[in-house]
Structure 1
Amino acid sequence: MLFSLTVSKGWTLRQLDIHNAFLNGHLAETVYMKQPPGYEDPMTPGHVCHLQRSLYGLKQAPRAWFKRLHDFLLSTGFQASKTDVSLLYYTARDSRVFLLVYEDDIIMMGNDAKLVTTLLQRLSTTFKIRDLGALGFFLGIETIVVDDGLLLSQRRYMTDLLGRSGMVDCKPLATPAAVTKSITPVDTPYDNPTQYWHIVGALQYLTITLPDLSYAVNRLCKFMHTSTEEHWNLVKRVLRYIKGTLDFGLQLTPSVSTAIHAYSDSDWASCPVDRKSTSGYAVYLGSNLISWLSKKQCTVTRSSTEAEYKALTDVSIEVTWVVSLLQELGLHSGQPATLWCDNLGVTYLCANPVFHARTKHVEIDYHFVRDKVASGDFLVNYVSTTDQLADIFTKPLPSPCFSALRGKLNVASLPPCA
């Protein structure tokens, strides 16, 4: 979301690294350590060290370091976000600076380049900082400048994943999941379940920049404890799709609008084992995709309308969180969020209390969404199935349809020169 705002508003974007970050943390607990080899005191070899600061390897180290950084930033005028604990922000009149922390890696962005530099200098007075300049490679994600925007790519990660799985020379495929065949947990057990766990777990991290993989990977994750030869073949199909999309990533482009609109969809009773439905949604800030989900519903639904309503509830919760974060940062446009659903029954339920008697079994979801609509926070509109962008998160699709929806999710290929 913040990357989208940075691209749209032309903010400054910087990447920082803290040298030996975990050594800066002060321990709140009493921790003793044996004298390290080569540094024993010959006069008192039986003595131990009483640690005042954290060391790498201690369970408390990440927490102690974050608390030290957190307290220092608060003392310099930053405020901690109540919506996301890894986010801190600084406000001075019309100037805003945002700081995202992941262990010792930090991203700083803001609409005032001088203020960003000043805050960096304050930070360097207490911690040894390495200013890496413009954001390039962060947590395995490469940020590439394209057409005045950014493309978030994990091509190095994908290449490494293909190498680990022995699929470097595989033949590419156009889609990650077959349309004609469903999977079941009944088959010959896979003889290397550890490999299945490692590869599928690695695929999960790829969905950060490749939302088109979400449905296929989510489906494979259901069989972590009952993986079969058939499931491993489906993993290889996903890897063959990755082979053909190494240059693809999530593109963020300048957007004039900062209004929120979202698409929700479900595939009713799609699981042949327990007949639970699959939900999917896509949330946009202006023209940029900022959040998405593919997930099997927790309960069995008794109608397609109920399944669609539960999917609408899921996206409503996500949009509520996004709105609360934007409001906290003072960046919300004030416009109600628009939710698009391809089930007329659900759109009527959101505004017509007469239907309540027929939906007592979805009462909690009903009240949550309808209260949002009644308060003017949400607008729920109907969209035809052919224009339902969340369809890609609920079921396998033919290649032409899959490619069209993938493009609308802003999954794009790198330009030839990149």
Structure 2
Amino acid sequence: MGWGTDMEVGATHDEMISSGGSRSEPSKVVGGAFIASYAAAYLATSLLFIAPLLVTLALKINSLVGTDRAASSLSLVAATGSLVALVANPLFGRLSDRTTSRWGMRRPWILVGLAGGSFGILVVALAPTVWVVLIGWCLAQLFFNAMLSAMVAVLPDQVPIEQRGTVAGILGVCLPIASVGGTYVVKVFTGHELAMFLAPCAIGGFFIVLFALILDDRRLAAADKPRWSLRQLLGSYYVSPRRHPDFAWAFASRFMFILAYAFLVTYEAYYLLDHLGSTEDEVPQQIFLGTLTQAVVVVLASVAGGRLSDRTGRRKLFVAAAAVVYGVALFIIAMAGDFDAFLVGMAVGGLGFGLYLAVDLALVADVLPDADSVAKDLGVLNIAGAFPFSLAPAMAPLVLTVGSGSYQVLYVVAGVCALIGAAAILPVRKVR
């Protein structure tokens, strides 16, 4: 099922495949119907990831092992799940790039990923022990990353270069809106554990399935399918920094920025409990208010930043400035003495986060190494988004030990990571 001939959309699969199976850049301007449906599906994808990470996973583990053991158990679950994501995303990106299904290259993985990931969330919700939570979360990460690798590849598949900043800016709004939506849904179903986990899957799944059904997906002819080899399989996880230095610097920048973000969201519940003295019943409401405050600013910053980046033709300046602002926000949160100060830090973080998400994705799409393996290369880049969620839980206990258990020290370290991310984008040469 396609978008219809009367709508302006990205290039069709026939237009995007030239002789020899090589993909050319899409040239047709995408219309509002495509952007709205893509944004809704991308938002829904973010909802599936973020609702457990922000609230339900931490609360589930806390209910199983108690406050004293919750932080270390959450570290184990989050770190292992992120390692699964690190392996899964490039692999499924490679498989998506090689898919010759009559349903297209991206659609099958979107639907399979949604079904498998939702089953993993169900396992987490019903888990009687932390080890079962770990198994369920690994399943969720495996399949949701299969879906994510295909979903992200739609941007270079369908959207022309001159629109990528604008579309990426709209997509940048999705994560904070999903954060607000996810925490709100969890708040509504507080006290009903199964519903807290599955309601985001049901709501998000509707929009994902709708987008998958109406997507005019890119298709690959069987004759153009690349040969499979062990070298190609291992290459799913690697892009040469020597041959593609711009991609390498973009990877490093995103890695450090997401590491800063991972410190914040993974330990936000425990920061509120320990540093600000919140009660367990207050935490869902406070996280909801924090994400709502941040999201309001993110929406404005992301949409405006993406448009301005397209108009000026500049990417690096916006990405670097955004990472600096986000680092400052983490310093504000670290020094917060009450919940109001925490909200100020979240608002400032929204400005940096919105600009970064909007322009960084457009920058990355502009420096992809190979037009014939966009999903694979985006999967490699997604290691920079997945591995920090393993590294942060692994680093946090050491940082907390050195800092005498202070979450202030942890968030200062996070702020420094964001500043390093700002510096790392400066050597990129292909884009301004």
The TM-score with structure 2 as length reference comes to: 0.25
Give the number of the structure whose alpha-carbon radius of gyration is greater.
Answer: 1
Higher-strand-fraction structure: 1
Higher-helix-fraction structure: 2
Taking CA–CA contacts closer than 8 Å with sequence separation of 6 or more, which of the two structures ends up with the larger relative contact order?
2
